[in-house]
Amino acid sequence: MKFEDRLEGDIVVIDVSGKIMGGEETTLFHGRIHEYIQQNKKNIIIDLTKVDWMNSVGLGMLISALTTVKNAGGRLVLANITKIESILTITRLLTVFEHYDTREEALKAFA
């Protein structure tokens, strides 16, 4: 897994790519979420366009990020979940995560 993050206005956009399976990258991802929260940047979009695959550890990473952001009074949404939609459906997490078909739709949701 790799990720790149940036600000689009006051909204944090994190592009995740590859296979989400845990490991050092997951720790770095959580650290980055905490850094943004400390900077009072609590509106976050995780764009999953380039994610090929995700296991249960990857799901845990997303759930942990959602919990961290919500507990800080923020909002985390997913964009472009097509490749992992089946695992979110099977685990019934599709109803837990706010999600949008495109990054543009997710950005508009914060307007």
**Percent helix, strand and coil across the chain, each rounded to 5?**
40, 35, 25
Picking from 66, 63, 86, the residue whose alpha carbon sits closest to that of residue 75 is 66
In the CATH scheme, what is the code of domain 2-109? 3.30.750.24
Domain ranges of the chain: 2-109
Q: Read off the pTM.
A: 0.94
pLDDT in tens, 77-91: 999 999 999 999 999
DSSP 4-56: EEEEETTEEEEEEEEEE--SHHHHHHHHHHHHHHHTT--EEEEEEEEEEEE-H
The residue behind tokens 């956009």 is 13
pLDDT at 97 over 90: yes
